């Protein structure tokens, strides 16, 4: 698995564990809590693995960006959180930033 693929999966797992925290209801529900903790551990491990090759600033920014974008989108789809035109614009900027970091990275 390449460092970039590892980083993308880590970001997707970040989205999963942030949504999992909502389903765990403050870590009071055992199954969602266990899945959330597993996703946190896997996400952190993959992020750490990716940083062996990628610059830490780039890796961290991409990881957070994927997680934030995914969480905002799933929050709208699952929990009916509003996506205003302004929020959609800034999510698009975040995606553009993630792609920019990827394509300008030395690795």
pLDDT category at 27 given cuts 50, 70, 90 is very high
Q: Which residues, 6+ apart, have CB-to-CB distance to 80 below 8 Å?
A: none
Neighbours of 63 (CB within 10 A): 25
Q: Is the dihedral of CA 62, 65, 69, 72 positive or negative?
A: positive
pLDDT category at 102 given cuts 50, 70, 90 is confident
Tens of pLDDT, residue by residue over 16-25, are: 999 999 999 9
pTM assigned to the model: 0.88
């Amino acid at each position: 698995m390449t460092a970039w693929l590892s980083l993308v999966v880590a970001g997707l797992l970040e989205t999963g564990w942030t949504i999992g925290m909502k389903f765990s209801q403050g870590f009071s529900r055992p199954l969602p809590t266990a899945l959330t903790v597993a996703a946190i551990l896997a996400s952190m491990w993959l992020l750490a693995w990716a940083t062996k090759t990628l610059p830490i600033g780039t890796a961290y920014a991409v990881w957070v960006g994927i997680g934030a974008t995914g969480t905002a989108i799933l929050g709208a789809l699952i929990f009916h959180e509003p996506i205003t035109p302004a929020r959609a614009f800034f999510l698009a900027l975040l995606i553009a930033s993630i792609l920019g970091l990827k394509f300008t990275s030395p690795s």
